[in-house]
Structure 1
Amino acid sequence: MRALLVDHNVASGLRLGETAEPLPGPNQALIRVAATSLNFGEITHAVSQAPDGAVLGWDAAGVVERAAADGSGPAAGTQVLTLGDTGGWAEFRAVDTGQLGVAPAGSDPGALSTLPVTATTALRALRKFGSLNGKRVLITGSTGGVGQYAVQLAHLGGAHVIASTSNPAAQGNRLRSLGADEVISGPEHVSTSLDGVVDCVGGPQLAQAFDKLASHGTLVAVGDVTMQPVEFPPGAFLGNNGRHGRSIVTFHLADGPLPGEDLTWLAERLAAKDFMPHISWRGDWDQADEAVAAVLDRNLRGKAVLDIS
């Protein structure tokens, strides 16, 4: 089968080539991949650490080519979206049935491929706050992959959504169309206390956002794009003056139940147009070099999607 293979001798670190088709285990379905989306972490850390010839890829959507031998999971011909550590950048992917979601027939595989990492991360981060109805929730890095889904899902849950972005003038209308009630340029501009924060930025913004939490508020640290130290002022963790019970929670997508049910729910909500996918770049996978460069430039306001021809 064809696949995007790790090749450290080319600029992007990836090249189209031939490799063996995966052999599914008893609890794995064989998926014919139609589209995959790229994530910054896999393009940087995963590719740099993998050996030449490896097939990576976390997100992939397609159709079940062969159902799992143990009878779990959907039948052949079912449209699905999948999440895994490897194997998404190939014509075929073997995936545990607990790591795939069933999509409504006729769904756009490119749109589905944006959901597994970013939308599932946003969904599970927001669950840390319990019921969202009426809560004031700040999303930092709101124009990124996770951030845009977090804005939409928080709005869907009934939260008052505050979206933080470096350029409100340019991004404000877009974020309001996704469900943001307020658009600001940083946590320091939050006017009243918060019930929850999904922090996709890290660095100084994390400390600023934590300072805005109401009592029993929670900050979920999802990402760190700044790679800068986080410095808290003296007294930041005192519980006086209505600041008791606040918490910072670290986050990892693999820490929790298998994502199959979440993936199915997200695919159904996408089909119902309860929220919109965010695709900033799309092309055939023979344009992978261009897609990788776009991701690494950090100028995309959404995901890069490769169609598997």
Structure 2
Amino acid sequence: MRALLVDRSAPGGLRLGTAPDPEPAPHQALVRVVATSLNHGEVRHGIEDAADGAVLGWDAAGVVEQAAADGTGPAVGTPVVTLGADGAWAELRAVDTALMGTAPAGADLGAISTVPVAGASALRALHRIGPILGRRLLITGATGGVGRYAVQLGRLGGAHVIASTGDPAAHGEGLRALGADEVVPGPQAVTEPVDGVLDMVGGEQLVTAFGKLTERGTLVPVGQSTGGGERFPLGAFWDEPGRHDRTIATFFLLTATGLGPDLTWLAHRVAAGDLDPQISWRGGWDQAAEAVDALLGRRLHGKAVLDLTAA
């Protein structure tokens, strides 16, 4: 099968080549991939850490070519959205049926391929916060793929959404169009307490955002774009009037239970136009180096999609 192989001598660290077809386990379906979306983490760290010849990739959408032998998952011919630790950057992917959702017939599978990491991370983080109807929600790093999904999902859930970005002048209008009620240059600019925080940045911004939580508020760390750790000041976790019972809640997407229904729901919302995948770059797999360079250079705000059929 054709695949994007790790090759650090090639532009972007990837080259088009061939790899053996995967052999699915009984609980896995074999999917013919139509499109994949790239994530900064897998491009920045995955290519750097993988052996030459490896087939990476977390997100892919395609069509079931061989159903799971144990009878779980969708039938042959079903359009699906898939998540995994690797294997998305190839024509064929063996996928755990628990990490697979269905997509509507005729849907743009390039748009659907943006759902697994970005959409599901945002949705799972909101699950950790709990009901958000009428509550104040802060989203840091709101211009990234997860952040843009989180803004839209926060709006759909009835929250007052505060989107944080380093450049409100450049991105404020777009974030408001997605559903943000306020756009701020950082959590330090938030003037009233918030009930929940989805943090995509880490470092000092996470520490500052935690300090904005109200009583029984929850912060969910989703991303770490700063590359540095967090240092909380003395007393940050002491209870104060109005600040009691605050929580930092974590999750690991690949082991989250019930992920299939989440992926299905998100895929259908994207196909219906209720959620905008915010694709800012799209091209064939032979243009992967261009997409990788744009991601590493932080020139993309949104998602990058590679179409296998365009290669």
Coarse TM-score class (shorter-chain normalised): over 0.9
Alignment RMSD: 1.2
Other-structure match for 1:93: 93
Displacement of 1:251 in angstroms is: 3.4
Other-structure match for 2:63: 63
Q: Which whole-Å deviations, capped at 9, do the CAs of 1:103-122 have from their partners, x for residues lacking one? A: 01111111011110011000
Other-structure match for 1:269: 269
Displacement of 1:258 in angstroms is: 4.9
Determine the C-alpha separation between the residues in 1 that align with 2:180 and 2:143: 11
Q: Which whole-Å deviations, capped at 9, do the CAs of 1:239-276 have from their partners, x for residues lacking one? A: 11211111222332124215211100101111222211
- Kept after mapping to 1: 8 A contact 2:101/2:264: yes
Q: Which whole-Å deviations, capped at 9, do the CAs of 1:164-223 have from their partners, x for residues lacking one? A: 011111111100110101111111111211100001011111111111110110111111
Other-structure match for 2:254: 254
Q: Which whole-Å deviations, capped at 9, do the CAs of 1:123-171 have from their partners, x for residues lacking one? A: 0001111111011000000000110001000110111100001111111
Other-structure match for 2:132: 132
- When structure 1 is superposed on structure 2, of 47-56 and 230-239 the one drifting more is 230-239
Displacement of 1:51 in angstroms is: 1.3
Determine the C-alpha separation between the residues in 1 that align with 2:245 and 2:71: 46
Other-structure match for 2:222: 222
**What is the one-letter code of the residue matched to 1:34?**
V
Determine the C-alpha separation between the residues in 2 that align with 1:224 and 1:98: 26
- Kept after mapping to 2: 8 A contact 1:4/1:14: yes
Determine the C-alpha separation between the residues in 1 that align with 2:48 and 2:207: 31
Determine the C-alpha separation between the residues in 2 that align with 1:131 and 1:192: 19
**What is the one-letter code of the residue matched to 2:241?**
N
Determine the C-alpha separation between the residues in 1 that align with 2:9 and 2:258: 36
Displacement of 1:42 in angstroms is: 1.0
Aligned-pair identity (%): 62
Other-structure match for 1:187: 187
**What is the one-letter code of the residue matched to 2:71?**
G
**What is the one-letter code of the residue matched to 2:194?**
L
Determine the C-alpha separation between the residues in 1 that align with 2:75 and 2:237: 52
- Structure 2 segments unaligned to the other structure (5+ residues): none
Determine the C-alpha separation between the residues in 1 that align with 2:79 and 2:62: 6
Q: Which whole-Å deviations, capped at 9, do the CAs of 1:40-75 have from their partners, x for residues lacking one? A: 111121122211111111000011112122221111
Equivalent position SS for 1:12: helix
- Kept after mapping to 1: 8 A contact 2:32/2:91: yes
Q: Extract structure 1 runs of 4+ deviating beyond 4 A.
A: none
Q: Which whole-Å deviations, capped at 9, do the CAs of 1:8-34 have from their partners, x for residues lacking one? A: 222311110011111112221111100
- Kept after mapping to 2: 8 A contact 1:31/1:94: yes
**What is the one-letter code of the residue matched to 2:266?**
L
Determine the C-alpha separation between the residues in 1 that align with 2:7 and 2:165: 35
Displacement of 1:231 in angstroms is: 3.0
- Label 1:180 to 1:72 Cα distance change in 2 as closer, same or farther (>3 A): same
- Label 1:28 to 1:231 Cα distance change in 2 as closer, same or farther (>3 A): closer
Other-structure match for 1:168: 168
- How many residue pairs get aligned? The number is 309
Other-structure match for 2:158: 158
Q: Spell out the pairing of 1:111-150 with structure 2 (5 A cutoff).
A: 111-150=111-150
TM-score (norm 2): 0.96
- Structure 1 segments unaligned to the other structure (5+ residues): none
Determine the C-alpha separation between the residues in 2 that align with 1:19 and 1:92: 10
Equivalent position SS for 1:219: strand
- Kept after mapping to 2: 8 A contact 1:63/1:79: yes
Determine the C-alpha separation between the residues in 1 that align with 2:98 and 2:234: 46
Equivalent position SS for 1:254: helix
Asked whether 1:283 is paired with 2:283, we answer yes
- Kept after mapping to 1: 8 A contact 2:84/2:95: yes
- Label 1:94 to 1:255 Cα distance change in 2 as closer, same or farther (>3 A): closer
- When structure 1 is superposed on structure 2, of 93-102 and 136-145 the one drifting more is 93-102
Other-structure match for 1:80: 80
Determine the C-alpha separation between the residues in 2 that align with 1:176 and 1:15: 38
- Kept after mapping to 1: 8 A contact 2:84/2:254: no
